[in-house]
Chains A and B, each alone.
Chain A
Amino acid sequence: MPIEVEHLTHTYLPGSPFSSTAIHDLSLTIEDGEFIGVLGHTGSGKTTFVQHLNGLLKPTEGRVIVDGVDITRKGVSLLDVRRKVGLVFQYPEYQLFEETVAKDVAFGPKNIGLSKTEIDERVRWALEQVELDFGEVAGVSPFELSGGQMRRVAIAGVLAMKPKTLILDEPTAGLDPRGRRAILAMIRRLHAENSMTVIMVSHNMDDIGPLATRLLVMNRGELVMEGTPREVFRRHDEMLAIGLGVPRGAELLYRLRQEGYPLPDDLYTLPEVRDALLSLYASKGDASAARTQAADSASPKEATPDA
Chain B
Amino acid sequence: MPPIRKKQPPIKLLPKTLTGITGLDEITSGGLPAGRPTLICGAAGSGKTLFSLEFIVRGATEFGEPGVFMAFEEKADELTMNVASLGFDLNKLQKDKLVKIDHVHIDRSEIEETGEYDLDGLFIRLGYAIDSIGAKRVVLDTIENLFSGFDNQAILRAELRRLFGFLKEKGVTAIITGEKGDGSLTRQGLEEYVSDCVILLDHRVTNQISTRLLRIVKYRGSVHGTNEYPFLIDEEGISVLPVTSLLLESEISQDRLSSGIVSLDNMLGGKGFYRGSSILVSGTAGTGKTSLAASFANECCKKNERCIYFAFEESPKQIIRNMQSIGIDLKSHVDKGLLEMHASRPTLHGLEMHLVAIHKKIKKFKPRAVILDPITNLVTVGSVSEVKSMLIRLIDYLQAEQITVMFTALTLNTIINEQTDEGVSSLVDAWLLVRDIESNGERNRGMYIMKSRGMKHSNQVREFVITDEGLDLVDVYLGDSGVLIGSAREAQQLIEATGQVLRTHALTRKDIEIKRKRSVLESKIASLQEEFESVQDQLNKSYIEEDLKKEIMEKNRTEMIDKRHTKNSGNGKGK
Say whether A associates with B.
no
A-to-B contact residues, CB < 8 Å? none
B-to-A contact residues, CB < 8 Å? none
